[in-house]
A and B are shown apart, each in its own frame.
Chain A
């Protein structure tokens, strides 16, 4: 019997190592879940930077993340408008641009045809009203050869087919000058046309797209500045969603509306929840039971059951398409319940002293209970703010026109309808992210108060 190989007792280190290993697994699992929750947004954010968010969805090495493009866009922005971040094109500007083309050894080079097209800078309403075009003020110089290379290997793209080729390359350089005097222009588009066999293998800035099956390399803006280049979708979504009457950015209006409505609703909720919660909890008056039952009942019935009648009420009052229709349509049953349950926990002695002194219940509420209610108040304030900010159904029903009275979620819907048809996913993603910034900021600041109090919104999704 090989007793000597078996252990007589289990060492302490056995258990210790296992506890350590279990902790490692737990942390790994938590990290995996965190990766899934945060990673999704990271991926969507990266996609919002791309020129075309649907091309090669799993490829994250695209033009906007390459540092060489950052440097170039900064230089070009400096050259165009002394503005390395947002670029532009102003009087006296000179942009230097170079492009490298390759052909096989038995072909000859053709001089690229370089043109600044007279094209509006985007699809939104603001773009259609543009009156200043770079084409009217720009002069393109003749391209000069600055480099030759007799041995290059490159890839010739035939649609989705890639053919590797050997050949020679030539680099041309040209400049774009602002002639005379005039306004500062935001975008300088550029088109360079060559025969199909002549392939663009390098350029100061990666082209935004290739058109005419590879014959034309097209840049949306050759003087973008770093921010204008990397975050182009965001700049576009911000600039193009503009109200035609006031010229103000709609995103600003939407954020402002959401904020004002959320603030007003929270104030109203706190007022109603505290007074009603206290009364239902501490005061035994006739009718308490029925109000309580009605309140619970109202929490189970969805908003769609009551919306027509409420809609008609606001219609008759002429309050449709105003923030008041959203603010005052408030049945704060959930918050009243929270305050009621919170107030119930306190012992009777708390108010008995004050009652003996002859204080009215309102004074008791104000002086005794409210100061103690801070945790619960924090809870309903956060819940209320978040609920009001993210509310979708009712604002969509009552806020229809004009577009700058929308709240952020309804604005997102209109953005999706406007750009979804064009398949402009980068814009839609950029818009989504822009609307999440305020909530994220609030969340990061008030993080502690969110936990555990978030049941309602957490569970419905």
Chain B
């Protein structure tokens, strides 16, 4: 059985180490927060916050307290706030240890495309290009194939890039691929998925 969204998020959480400052993207990456367990992880929200807490209880929403997805959230006893210039300073400066992000396509060289589909509605890159260029480790969490069954792990990305050679690890519903010098390495398979299944579903070099 391939992993579901929560299993992918739980597996991504295992990659995070105690004491890390981490930025989680929108979608499945957001779920990673539910699986960090006892590890001391501080979540960064690029609109200007370290120490992001869970959603507020109903009636306790604060319009001045949102995450980068514009959702109402809460603060923790470790929380700090700062402006956008400092927020991206810490991202660009490599102070944020890891980012877990969604993707439309990833190449075997670690190129990432997740902000634009030409000819379709373009909403903007927001902070995605900064994150992939700046943080210590970029972990992509996504479905292995598109709705049409096409591999999202490719030799070369077809979509405009968010960053070049920036992805370190790809976690999909089928398993985990590490970006290496000569191509991708299969690190782990989901239960019931074989390395051959992953190879068959992947249009990229797996060594």
A and B part of one assembly: no
Binding site for A on B (CB under 8 A): none
Binding site for B on A (CB under 8 A): none
